[in-house]
Amino acid sequence: MTSGTGAPDDRIELRGLRCIGTHGVLVEEQVRAQPFEVDLDLSVDMRPAGISDALADTVDYGAVADVVAAVVSGPRSFALLEALAVAVADAVLGVDPRIAKVTVALRKLRPPLAVDIDTVGVRMSRFR
């Protein structure tokens, strides 16, 4: 299938990448690590890889996962999920120039709220 521009609507999907990080507004969140989960959609033209069946002709999703884990678990702490998601998107776009667009869904798995809630999160997209 192609988009309205004639470019393929191909994407690589990564789901449920779990990482431990220290991100949040509360002091407790900044010193006590907590779990996060990330889903990614990478817009990539897969025609070359579909023909060659060679990793060199596509984006290595293992490298993408490693970069995302490094951002979420790394030494830099973010107060807002929005800022962390932008940092993840920027890092992913830096992995390979063939990534035309990335959509990041980022969830905090145990948010410190006074109500019973499983997750809170953000979803955003960035284009090259």
Non-local CB neighbours of 72 within 8 Å, separated by 6+ positions = 19, 20, 21, 23, 36, 38, 84, 88
Amino acid at 59: V
Q: Any catalytic annotation for residue 101? A: no
**CA 25 – CA 82 distance, rounded (Å):** 12
**CA 65 – CA 63 distance, rounded (Å):** 5
Nearest to 118, CA basis, from 128, 107, 127, 126 = 107
**CA 85 – CA 108 distance, rounded (Å):** 11
Catalytic residue among 108, 115, 123, 124: 108
Q: Catalytic site residues?
A: 108
